[in-house]
Chain A
Amino acid sequence: MIASEKSGGNFGGASVPASRLVSSLAPPIDASLRVPLLALFGGAAFWLVVSSVLAMVASIKFHAPNFLADCPWLTYGRVQPAADDALLYGFCIPAGLGVVLWLFAQLGQAPLRGTLVPVVAAKLWHLGVLIGLAGILSGNSTGFAWLEFPRAGSVVLFFAYLLLALWAMMNFAARRERALFPSHWFLVAALFWFPWIYSTANLFLVAWPARGVVQFAINLWFTGNLLFVWLALVGIGAALYFLPKFNGRPLQGYYFALFAFGTLVLFGTWCGIPPGAPLPAWIPTLSSVAATLTVVPVLAIGVITWQTLFGTTHCEPKGGPFCFIRFGLASFVLATLMLIATACPRISRVTEFTWFGPAQTQLQLYGFFAMTMFGAIYHLLPRVVGFEFPFPKLARVHFWISLLGVVLLVFPLAIGGVEQGLKLNNPDVGFMDALKATLPFLRVSTIGLMLLLFGNLLFALNIFGLTFVWEKALVKKIFTAITAPLETEGEAGSASASLRRDKEVRT
């Protein structure tokens, strides 16, 4: 039902048929996506590394406040939001959009048309991220959480997104396989979700700022919808495609998926306003109720995953991409449970304003979304480009390092946050003592960030390596095409040139 192709998701060369190693022979659907996806994922890999480096710099400052303190561009208050935004806008969103483009083409069996536009849009998106990050680091941040990019950057991002979403939707409308898959619901909803929330937030916060604490409410609404709903829609939408594919059996529980989707958009969109916010009481109360009800879609997604993975015994799914996506789903469940916990007024009393919040966000962004995207990219990119990754073994190393990194980043911060919250709520404990109690946890989280930086370098190495291999082959192909007529005129000569070209490409 889902997949025409039943091959597993191994990183090794075995999964891609040898005939497809020559790029010109890849099916037209994959070939049409090649350049847009390389543009999206290449930039994403670059910003991922940038984000890790910035996050490391920010984290080190807690142990050595004097570290790079004399450079205003690298002060903690600028580096930290820059690291967060580089991860979200630099990596998560373009990677998500790339996966959406591929999934639509794959599920609908229709090649992407007019590939120049998505390529330009991808470049434009990464330009927007560059402008935005430079804005934050030079002190021109807007001051709103997850919306720090100055106006010029946000406008570029917005139009780049519109172009990419438009092309994805056109591909969706032109699909040859007319049946809708559960992934479709999630991804189509995600495509229109972002422009709505991003334009609302930028218009009412930056262009014509609302008055007073209304800004705070809009900022929280935007953050909740982006970090929870958008990421969940894209991540879960992708996972619902890959899970049955890697597992070799159709998705179990179609109606569960429909139910999960409905409740996710219905309750998720109200999440994110902490119970103690200085807003009229009905707003945080409503948000808390909705957050508690979010347990419903989480359970439904858990049931689908369980049934698809463990419903039968005959299948033993293997392979790196599968590990990434399985880890991503587990993180999603945990991150959402953490979110639900912080919406409970009693728990929020302890965890609000502590490191528990950043721990939840990192688990959502990194443990769930980025890991799911890694899995998807490792699976789809070799097929699209027509070459195997240059260092397939490093992908497996990347998995284990990232897993360890996420665990060492998130758990110490969460535990340290609870400890910090308990100490802050006890006025007999001095404030400095409460802060110093978090330091050992922050130290461990710095190690976690270091591992993530290393893992991300491995990811970037594979992406750039693959791009390089493809470009090299392309140059060779062009070179042969130019030089070919001089050597031969007849059919036999042409055939031998083609043979030689194939040989060269393979080596």
Chain B
Amino acid sequence: MKNGALIFLAAFLALGSSWCGFVLAPWLQLGGAKQTTILNSSDVYPVGRSGEASLGLQAYRANGCAACHTKQVRQDGVACDVILIDAGKNGEAVQAAAQAVNPALPGLTGSRQTILHTISKTEADTAVGKISAAGGKAEISIIAIGPDIARCWGLRGSVAEDFLYDNPVQLGSLRAGPDLADEGTRLPDINWQLVHLYAPRTLMEGSMMPPYRYLFEVRKIKIGGKPSPDALMLPPELAVAGCEIVPKPEAKELAEYLLSLRVDTPLPDAPVTPPSGSRASTGGELAGPGEDAMFARGRAVYGSLCGLCHGNDGLGKPGQAPPLAGSEWVNCKGVQRLARISLAGINGKIQVEGKDWNLSMAAMGAALSDTDLAAVLTYIRQSWGNQAGAAAAAEVQVLRAEVGVRPQPLTGNQLKSVTE
């Protein structure tokens, strides 16, 4: 027994030390955590969720969503982009300086332009110095890098602050479905979320997610009665004759919760430059030289909504979103097709610049006003070498009325039948 007490003491100390290390110490370090100040801003982060979204977290817990979905974006590190804001008076000298730092640069476009992509901070500082010496104005944009970021799953990696108001904190440990940390930015349309919950395979071909039909009720439509404003807009093969599919409160709360998930705020321990003009960026958006206000506004909207997947250079991301630069769907006569894609979303196979894509883009109509949509369409049609005509808010208004409030995502074939 003389060894017995010693052995017991050793085990007790081992467990006690890890208890102090992994229970007590995190509690002392983070248990009293409060809101942080957003980088380059006086706003605080995070702000609590709305009541409905908080209830949605409980639906997320009760139905075990975390069994297949993580809510943590991983980041490998940060890199810098050098962006030319203004070439100034001496355009040729700035062009020469820009081409000296990046010989592959074709030439200056006259508006905001990325000169160098994913370089280190020191390299970026040197480049900015050279351009400033030539009389141009350039700035450094901090970008997070890593496969999760490249998949449009968030602007930066997840940090402790993101989960301050979650209870329970469910970060998940398996990605049998996509990461949801930034779901609210990626798929901001509640109708998309609800239809996806009801019948995932109609929106994601080959999805392994089980349908959550029990979160919806099938109601008979009374003769002469009005349909419920919440009723789902379903494809014909799923519609039930004489009935409507109405989400139960849990379904709506869950969808609201998913829409509240965002990872796009720059923090002191997770610096990142938000796309210019996005919700989180600082200051008002100023039109650059040679730009009209509509174009500048479009860039701001694009940066906060479209750029995450289509890229701030409009070149798209392989496997995620097709390019907009040079795309035949963008550079056509009118905005009919492009506006419909934005308003209704698109689903399934489509060919872009001779390449096949299998897409699922959520409808962005609910997230954008007519003016914002017109602005962003104008920006897309006139940037990165695209030279199509501008879009007008009135035009968008007409199209929105045609498409309806809660539209069905388009397919490639439907889109082809729309006149340009």
Name A's B-contacting residues (CB within 8 A): 61-62, 65-67, 69-72, 75-78, 80-81, 139-145, 178, 180, 184-185, 188-189, 192-193, 196-197, 200, 204-205, 209-221, 225, 258, 261-262, 265-266, 269-270, 273, 276-280, 283, 286-287, 349, 352-355, 357-358, 420, 424-433, 435-436, 438-439
Contacts and interface: CB of A to CB of B under 8 A. Distances in A.
B208 A424 contact: no
Contacts of B15: 193, 196-197, 225, 265, 269
A261 B8 CA distance: 11
9 contacts: A70-B213, A72-B214, A75-B63, A213-B30, A217-B23, A266-B14, A280-B30, A287-B22, A436-B206
A265 B168 contact: no
Contacts, number: 225
Interface string B39-82: 00000000000000000000001111111101010100000000
B64 A214 contact: no
Contacts of A185: 7, 11
Contacts of A352: 74, 173
Contacts of B17: 269
Given A69-B213, A77-B64, A77-B66, A62 B208 contact: yes
Contacts of B366: none
Interface in B1-56: 1, 3-4, 7-8, 10-12, 14-15, 17-19, 21-23, 25-27, 29-33
Interface in B340-393: 358
B14 A269 contact: yes
A180 B319 contact: no
Interface stretch (B87-95, B159-167, B295-303): B159-167
Contact of A212 (B8, B25, B30, B147): B30
Nearest to A278: B158
A277 B71 CA distance: 11
B130 interface: no
Contacts of A204: 23, 27
Nearest to A80: B67
Interface string B153-196: 00001111111111111111111111000000000000000000
Contact of A65 (B18, B171, B200, B214): B200
A289 to B, nearest CB: 12
B332 interface: no
Contacts of B293: none
Nearest to B75: A276
B147 A427 contact: yes
Contacts of B33: 211-212
Given A269-B18, A431-B151, A139 B175 contact: no
A339 to B, nearest CB: 14
A353 B64 contact: no
A137 B200 CA distance: 22
A145 B173 CA distance: 9
Contacts of B72: 276-278
A415 to B, nearest CB: 16
B206 A424 contact: no
B103 interface: no
Contacts of A205: 168
Contacts of A200: 19, 23
Nearest to A361: B173
Contacts of B8: 188-189
